[in-house]
A and B are shown apart, each in its own frame.
Chain A
Amino acid sequence: MNDDHLSLPNLELQGQKFLERLRVAASLNLDYWTRGKSGKPNLPLSAFLVALVRIPEPTDVFWEDRKSQKGKNAQHGEDRVWQFEFDLEIFGTKAVFYLKGYFFTRWKLGGVTIQSFRSVVPESTPLRRK
């Protein structure tokens, strides 16, 4: 069996729910990038943890090859990065958020690295520019 056959996108196609995978991975080992001085600032980790409870099963998850092969988990992480947008209704108001990351380790769900989590304003995420 090769890597591609076991990759998480393929597992999802076999009926495994993406959201369940994300929640399990986050509870096992969560690496969260926050507070960049340049670039787009992520919401704090505490915001991600409460949002995780309400994220709906994403309908459009975009997968692409991971560019970075350096850094923590890069060597044993999945080769593909996922990203999607979702909306949350909070206090009767709908807000849109963008989430990007990758699972680790290859072949075994050990955790997740969240690279981006932020509130979406029009044209503000790579998905909107596509």
Chain B
Amino acid sequence: MTDCDHKATKDGFAKRKFLGETFRAKASVCKSCGAELWDHDVQGKFNGWLTKLHSRKRGKFQIQPLFSANVRACLKKMALEFPGSKDSSIVRAMTFLYLEAGQDRVLLRDMESIFISDTFIMLRSGKKASLPVGFNPMGILAIHGWGELTGVPPAKVVEEATLRVLAVYLAVDEKGRKIWAEVKEELTRLLRAA
């Protein structure tokens, strides 16, 4: 099967199921393969639709990652270092810190190297409970985007990203502390702006 070049288009609709709701807007559609063109106009309509959905059904923008008692204890301890920040705010900040660390591949690699340690086992072990974490439209789109790339559910994206940053927080060796200093600075910046 070859790739379609979308040579000829016709009027049709762009559709997307998202958060259990269906978005639909007029768009150009490929006559040959049925692909939809998401241009600036369609993207704007989708963003507007998402903003309205956020104001009407806030609960749909909540993700419920499962965390062990060890993770929840760590979050409580961390909250003392970031006054006024709730557990859910810290999880949200840590999630994007990890996901966007890709712009700094060295930091990402360092974080992964720490993650594959005993800390990994400790953070994952024990009974798990959900922690509701709310996201704004931009945040939920990004989390779902990562889920689509990795093939894992959004809650798992949040869990995996959070565990990796927590592993750095718990690192006791010199390398780990150095990385944490860098990560903490970024986390502070994110939480200040939250």
Contacts and interface: CB of A to CB of B under 8 A. Distances in A.
Q: Please classify how large the interface on chain A is, using the bins under 10, 10 to 19, 20 to 34, 35 or more.
A: 35 or more
Interface string B122-146: 0000000000000000000110111
Interface in B25-50: 28, 30, 32-40, 43
A46 B148 contact: yes
A50 B105 CA distance: 15
A67 B6 CA distance: 10
Interface in A67-105: 67-72, 88-93, 95, 97, 100
Interface of B: 1-9, 14-16, 28, 30, 32-40, 43, 99-100, 102-103, 105, 108, 112, 115-116, 141-142, 144-146, 148-150, 152, 160-161, 164
B33 A36 contact: yes
A36 B35 contact: yes
Interface in A1-45: 29-40, 42-45
A71 B7 contact: yes
A71 B6 contact: yes
Contact of B43 (A35, A45, A56): A45
